[in-house]
Amino acid sequence: MTSEFSFADIDWNQAVWTIAAAALSGSACALLGCYLVLRRMSLLGDAISHAILPGIAVAFWYGGTTAALPMFLGAVAVGLLTAVLTETLRSAAGVAEDAAMGVVFTSLFALGVVMIARLSAGQVDLDPDCVLYGRIEFVLNNSMIWRGYEIPVAMLPLSATLAATALFVALCWKELKIASFDPALATAMGLSAGVVHYLLMGMVAVASVAAFDSIGSVIVVAMLIVPGAAAHLLTDRLGPMLAWAAAIACVSAVLGYFAALYYNTVVAGMMAVVLGAEFALAALLAPRHGLISRAWHQLNLTLRIVSEDVIAALYRAEETSAALAPGAPQRDAGIAWAACSRLAGGGLTGWLALRRLLACGDVEAENRSLRLTEQGRHAAQSLVRSHRLWEAYLGEHFNLPLDHLHEPAERVEHYIGPKLQERLASELARPGVDPHGKEIPPS
């Protein structure tokens, strides 16, 4: 960060157009990147975005000009060639797909770097650093006047690319969806998975080339992979995934630009760093697939199971007490706190499980013992009913010894609800006792 930095000194015209260029190119790459992620072909987007370098060099070499159209056509042609060569190596030569992509893109990328370096040495305005890292902060330097407003020339191809990408996704929605999730089903339905593949690769090449001139190779790779990967963590549905990916790309454009000003560094690089930070947040906090969320759900599941084990043990203690002393109040039966903690696994897990039961009102503490409340007794009765119905089902339909029935029933009892209890009872003609002769509690 520089001590002279101030938001008051920002050239807002340049800021708006820089962010807009990054958002347009990033959104187009992010939409296509979602399909690359789903098809487990993210490296192919990396390969195409790097391998287009020789196409740019060849277009200049033979055309003798840095005009946009020849460069664009040359880069797209080599991008498609990358996809074709990768698929040919995989299908014809039997090379693993990831190895084929690695061989093709590193070879073409190295060739492109050498060719551009040779052209640069010949006093041609074709800077390798600009090609690799981009100069998006200078996008307004090449501008035109449109209806009285100065706009960057790059906005035209970038806007057209985003519109073409959105149109492609809309028109080929069904085909892309089926081919991405189940190529075999697509073929069985009469859809050519190969045609869909090459159409997608063609659009990836077009989006990469369109973004290449403005934002450089490094950020194109990040935009093709990271937003789609982060969005995949946030949702399991394709439509929301595309929306999340585009939003993530746009947020990185905004935050990356201002962070680059704040830390006085390269704008494109900082946008890629912000993308990485967004992915890290998604990996940690995503509702279903985030590391913290999964750990939290696992902890809740563990506490639920061990808590149910405790109340089931308390219910059985009441049954034993009633059998030994008929007519005695059920509430006189309890289990010492230490024994309940051992039933719950001991340690922090056991302590949390018992505190959870107390907080929920399923048990009450008295003289260092725990007893069931009416609410807890009802929950425990349902749990023991599930356990004994499952033992009865196993005993009737499987030739298992009696001592082999308890353990599987103890696992399954936590996942049997009232509807499945009723189905089991109907299947077993509503038995009164389990195979061990213990009464099955009523529903």
Can you tell me which residue has the tokens 């009723």? Answer: 422
Q: Where do the domains of the chain lie?
A: 7-288, 290-372, 374-443
Provide the 3-class DSSP secondary structure of residue 151: strand
**Structure confidence at residue 301 as a pLDDT band (50, 70, 90):** very high
- For residue 94, is it left (φ>0), alpha (ψ between -120 and 50) or beta? left
Please state the rounded mean pLDDT for residues 334-346: 84
**pTM score, whole prediction:** 0.76
Q: What dotted CATH number matches 7-288?
A: 1.10.3470.10
- The structural architecture, per CATH, of the domain 290-372 is Orthogonal Bundle (1.10)
Domains 7-288 and 374-443 share a fold: no
Please state the rounded mean pLDDT for residues 238-265: 92
What is the topology classification, in CATH, of domain 374-443? Arc Repressor Mutant, subunit A (1.10.10)
| Token digits of residue 415 | 């996942």
Burial degree of 73 (CB within 10 A; 0-12, 13-18, 19+):
middle
Within 10 A of 92 (CB to CB), how many other CB atoms are there?
Answer: 8
Note the Cα 21 to chain centre separation in Å.
Answer: 26
Provide the 3-class DSSP secondary structure of residue 417: coil
Instruction: Convert the pLDDT of each residue in 386-441 to its tens digit.
Output: 999 999 999 988 888 888 898 999 999 999 999 999 999 999 888 888 898 899 99
Q: What is the mean pLDDT of the chain?
A: 83
DSSP state of 190: T
Element (H, E) at 371: strand 369-372
